[in-house]
């Protein structure tokens, strides 16, 4: 029996090097005993042989497909102590059966797939259910701290995700196995933590809880689906989930009351300040976009602006820079506003949806249009900004921005360039979204740029008059 020790149980590269060596030496799976530094050991096994001298007989070539490597990278993070032996057995068998992974009915292949799937799910849950709370560090700077209990060893594998998403903030994620700390420049690993080491509440959370209560729709409550998406074991660390038992218990009465009174779901008091909205959107997890781990982007501009500009949602650049309309669409907008004689700096610029919806494509994040439902859920925040700012005129860029303002999706072609009066006395002015213009070329590009310029010239006249 040959014993192989892995110093770190989630170190794929170390496992890979050892496994290649054993396959090359011809050590069959039943002869290899895999152990981890913090797991049980076989006291009677011999240590793995040292590398063979260069003069020894040539070693076997070791083959492993990319599909196997991808599965193995995930499966090694599983907490099942048998996973290292399983990985080695599959690697060993692949040498004689290169198409082994195509056989979904094979016991080893099915087990490997299952482990990888459970790890992927745990990774996703960590991204969706980590809840940061704000604390003040000893040097007076703000730090966001979260507590999370993963089922598998996914903390390090997920670290890059949180670094990319929260690059400019200081944060710590505490777990029972280790802690991760980001100071804005470097990622440090610390010792295991316990739940009591993480703060339990902050100001933004109060607002978020109020919001969650207000949008919790008893008429649409599907307990089974909710449990699948948000399993019970995560509830204890989710502030909003702590309310669920009470909300479920009261759901029937609330539903009856809503039907009787025709009440709106959005009765909760509006956010009291722009700062409260900024905190609230950061914590908002009401829709799938809010759960995707991106940072919310708050509107910016003078709080007494006459003009409010509403786009669709922050894009890749906006999410990274944490400011609205600073990427290519924003630059086009700035130029066109300048040419029409409208000062962007005097306007309050925001979006209908506060988080960036995207599909990952390699290292890139490709924009995805939010659904009408997602825009409607986020409308509560936009309404809050509107109520606090009370602008005279609101410029809606594109159909999503317009839906956030009007509660319906208008035809931009039919309603652009005219003031749509609102119950609160403001006027909404519609035009195309600058990203749409960026996608055009040739004659269409020239024509649409011209219409955009005309719309903005009309806006400028309305602001003056």
Site for ligand URA in 249-268 (CB under 6 A): none
C-beta atoms surrounding 65 within 10 Å: 13
- Should residue 435 be labelled a site residue for ligand URA when binding is judged by CB under 6 A? yes
Q: Is 351 in the site for ligand URA (CB under 6 A)?
A: yes
Q: What is the rounded CA–CA span in Å between residue 440 and residue 442?
A: 7
Shortest distance, CB of residue 319 to ligand URA, whole angstroms?
A: 9
Should residue 18 be labelled a site residue for ligand URA when binding is judged by CB under 6 A? no
Q: How far apart are CA 384 and CA 380, in angstroms?
A: 6
Nearer to ligand URA, 134 or 435 (CB): 435
Query: How many angstroms separate the CA atoms of 32 and 26, rounded?
Result: 11
Q: Which is nearer to ligand URA, 109 or 309 (CB)?
A: 309
Q: Whose CB is nearest to ligand URA?
A: 311
| Pairwise CA distance, residues 206 & 242, whole Å | 13
Contact, 22 vs 48, CB < 8 A? yes
Residues 67-96 contacting ligand URA, CB under 6 A? none
Comparing CB distances to ligand URA, the nearer of 216 and 381 is 381
Given the complex with ligand URA, which of 23 and 396 has the nearer CB atom? Answer: 396
Q: How far is the CB of 214 from ligand URA (least distance, A)?
A: 26
Cβ closest to ligand URA, residue 71 vs residue 329: 329
* Residues between 135 and 174 with contacts to ligand URA, criterion CB under 6 A: none
Shortest distance (Å) from residue 278 CB to ligand URA: 15
Task: Quickly tell me which residue has 């519609």 as its tokens.
Answer: 430
Least distance CB 407 / ligand URA (angstroms): 18
Total residues binding ligand URA (CB under 6 A): 13
Q: Kindly provide the b/e burial profile for residues 118-140, where b requires at least 16 CB atoms within 10 angstroms of the residue's own CB.
A: bbeebbebbbbbbbbbbeeeeee
| Rounded Cα–Cα distance for residues 459 and 417 (Å) | 8
Closest CA to 435 of 316, 260, 263, 346: 316
Which CB sits closer to ligand URA, 255 or 448? 448
Subset of 308-347 contacting ligand URA (CB under 6 A): 311-315, 318, 324-325, 327, 329-330
Cβ 371 to ligand URA, closest distance in Å? 15
Q: Which one, 202 or 318, has the nearer CB to ligand URA?
A: 318
Signed CA dihedral, 370, 374, 378, 379: sign only? positive
| Cα dihedral across residues 270, 275, 276, 279: positive or negative | positive
Given a contact cutoff of 8 angstroms between Cβ atoms, the answer to whether 432 and 398 are in contact is: yes
Q: Which residues bind ligand URA (CB under 6 A)?
A: 311-315, 318, 324-325, 327, 329-330, 351, 435
């Amino acid at each position: 029996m040959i014993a192989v020790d892995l110093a770190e149980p989630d170190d794929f590269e170390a496992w890979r090097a050892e496994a290649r060596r054993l396959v090359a030496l011809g050590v069959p799976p039943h002869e290899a005993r895999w152990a981890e530094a913090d797991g049980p050991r076989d006291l009677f096994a011999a240590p793995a042989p040292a590398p063979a001298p260069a003069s020894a007989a040539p070693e076997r070539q070791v083959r492993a497909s990319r599909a196997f490597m991808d599965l193995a990278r995930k499966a090694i993070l599983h907490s099942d102590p048998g996973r290292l032996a399983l990985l080695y057995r599959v690697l060993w068998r692949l040498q004689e059966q290169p198409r082994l992974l195509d056989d979904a009915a094979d016991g080893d292949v099915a087990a490997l797939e299952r482990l990888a799937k459970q790890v992927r799910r745990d990774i996703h849950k960590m991204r969706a259910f980590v809840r940061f709370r704000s604390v003040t560090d000893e040097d007076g700077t703000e730090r966001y701290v979260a507590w999370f209990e993963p089922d598998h060893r996914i903390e390090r594998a997920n670290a890059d995700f949180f670094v990319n998403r929260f690059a400019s903030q200081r944060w710590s994620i505490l777990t029972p196995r280790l802690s991760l700390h980001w100071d804005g420049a470097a990622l440090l690993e610390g010792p295991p933590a316990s739940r009591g080491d993480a703060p339990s509440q902050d100001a933004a959370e109060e607002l978020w809880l109020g919001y969650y209560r207000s949008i919790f729709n008893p008429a649409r409550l599907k307990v089974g689906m909710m449990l699948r998406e948000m399993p019970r074991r995560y509830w204890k660390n989710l502030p909003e989930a702590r309310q669920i038992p009470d909300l479920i218990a009261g759901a029937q009465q609330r539903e009856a009351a809503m039907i009787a009174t025709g009440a709106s779901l959005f009765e909760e008091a509006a956010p009291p300040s722009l700062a409260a909205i900024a905190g609230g959107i950061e914590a908002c997890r009401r829709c799938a976009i809010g759960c995707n781990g991106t940072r919310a982007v708050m509107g910016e501009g003078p709080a007494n602006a006459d003009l409010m500009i509403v786009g669709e949602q922050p894009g890749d650049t906006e999410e990274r820079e944490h400011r609205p309309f600073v990427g290519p669409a924003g630059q086009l907008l700035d130029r066109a506003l300048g040419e029409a004689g409208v000062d962007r700096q005097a306007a309050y610029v925001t979006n209908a949806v506060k988080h960036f919806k995207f599909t990952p494509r390699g290292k890139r994040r490709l924009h995805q249009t939010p659904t009408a439902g997602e825009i409607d859920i986020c409308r509560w925040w936009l309404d809050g900004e509107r109520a606090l700012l009370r602008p005279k005129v609101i410029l809606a860029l594109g159909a999503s921005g317009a839906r956030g303002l009007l509660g319906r999706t208008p035809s931009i072609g039919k309603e652009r360039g005219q003031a749509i009066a609102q119950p609160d006395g403001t006027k909404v002015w519609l035009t195309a979204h600058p990203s749409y213009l960026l996608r055009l070329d040739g004659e269409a590009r020239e024509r649409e740029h011209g219409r955009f310029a005309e719309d903005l010239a009309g806006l400028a006249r309305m602001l003056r008059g």
